[in-house]
Amino acid sequence: MRSKELMTVSWKDNSVVMIDQTKLPDKLVFVRCTNYEQVADCIKRLVVRGAPAIGVAAAFGLALAAVKSKASDTSEIMNELEMAFKVLRNTRPTAVNLFWALDRVMQKAKSQTSVKTMKDAVLNEALKMAEEDIQANKKMGAFGASLIDDGDAILTHCNAGALATVAYGTALGVLRSAKEQGKRINVIATETRPVLQGARLTAFELKHDGIDVSVAPDTAVGSLMARGMIRKVIVGADRVLRSGHAFNKIGTYQIAILAKKHDIPFYVAAPLSSFDLNSSPGQVTIEERSFDEVVMMGGKRVVPKGVRVFNPAFDVTPPELISGIITEKGILTPPYDMSIKMVLG
């Protein structure tokens, strides 16, 4: 790892260390969690956010519950893990990586026969997932870079970068990889109201890595496309269904419609840990976040008191608007029910 590379979430000295993303871009500070309740709180408050990062943080939350346990037998430690599992599961509903990660670690725990091996197995599984996430991002980056041409102007929404994963990123990993191949690119990051993941986080991490980035209001996307200022769109995903429906940050759907209207390729980059092969679009819970995120701006109320507010955090883009889905196993193309079946079975 290069010394400057951002590590969003990691395990250090029996604690979970995370970049506090609520403080970016003003301050690059780290928080240290020593119990799973703190990890759950960090996930809820968006200290750590982005589907793959949430998954790994939750896995480390279970690891904290295991290694700090004073249980004397396996059923006692299993009860403690079940409790941590419940609390961590109830943090955020949309990114499937959370449930995938928690289920995978619990599965590992259940197959152990002593307290000691359970502690070791849970921690090792979480560490393995963190490493796998980085490797998946690098592979996705290598595949996805083939879609990027020298001189491209690429629009991205929200933050699907190093800060949304353990390191390197999904959509932004593709852009990093294209840059590493010597392609000149410029990135347009949408602000991503109301939490500003694009303006605060994508702009921060691309600037940090020396990638040309500009920020535009979410409302400018159609105009920029009509003026020929965008060649491609690439975004991440919180959940991709068997049908190819992609759940991602609110606003993604309207960008995909605008891209279709202007004949601009629209790509989704998502690791296999973000795929949910069991749900239909109507079964996925879209997180509704606090109205405070919408009514307050810079500490000041901008919406009259008593006015109703909608604040869905995610939307769903249907497969017919998606030109390709970049995964660590290659680039999936329509029809997605077929290409996803070939890769995931």
Hunting for tokens 């896995």 — which residue is that? 59
**Given the complex with ligand MRU, which of 5 and 82 has the nearer CB atom?**
5
Q: Tell me the DSSP string of 172-232.
A: HHHHHHHHHTT---EEEEE--TTTTIIIIIIHHHHHHTT--EEEE-GGGHHHHHHTT--SE
Q: According to CB under 6 A, which one of 69, 112, 177, 197 is a site residue for ligand MRU?
A: 197
Task: With beta carbons less than 8 A apart as the criterion, state whether 270 and 236 touch.
Answer: yes
Is there binding between residue 88 and ligand MRU (CB under 6 A)?
no
Give the amino acid at 156: T
| 191 binds ligand MRU, rule: CB under 6 A | no
Q: Answer yes or no whether residue 96 interacts with ligand MRU by CB under 6 A.
A: no
Considering only 237, 246, 321, 325, the residue that binds ligand MRU (CB under 6 A) is 237
Please give the size of the binding site for ligand MRU, defined by CB under 6 A. Answer: 17
Q: Is 236 one of the binding residues for ligand MRU (CB under 6 A)?
A: yes
- The whole-angstrom separation of Cα 331 and Cα 345 is 16
Report the residue from 125, 133, 218, 238 that binds ligand MRU according to the rule CB under 6 A: 238
Instruction: Compute the distance between CA of residue 36 and CA of residue 156 in angstroms, rounded to an integer.
Output: 32
Residue 103 is among the residues annotated as catalytic for this protein: no
Distance of CA 278 to the CA centre of its chain: 20
Calpha distance 155→221 (Å, rounded): 9
- Does 232 participate in binding ligand MRU (rule CB under 6 A)? no
Residue from 39, 47, 50, 81 touching ligand MRU (CB under 6 A): that is: 50
Task: State which of positions 127-166 bind ligand MRU (CB under 6 A).
Answer: 158, 160, 164-165
Nearer to ligand MRU, 65 or 98 (CB): 98
Pick between residue 95 and residue 129 the one whose CB is nearest to ligand MRU: 95
H helices, E strands: number in the chain: 11, 16
Q: Which of 133, 152, 218, 238 is catalytic?
A: 238
Is 58 near ligand MRU (CB under 6 A)? no
* Stretch of residues binding ligand MRU (CB under 6 A), selected from 22-30, 45-53, 178-186, 290-298: 45-53
Compare residues 120 and 293 and give the one whose CB is closer to ligand MRU. 293
Round to whole Å and give the CA distance between 185 and 91. Answer: 36
Q: Which two tokens stand for residue 193?
A: 């109201």
Catalytic residue list: 238
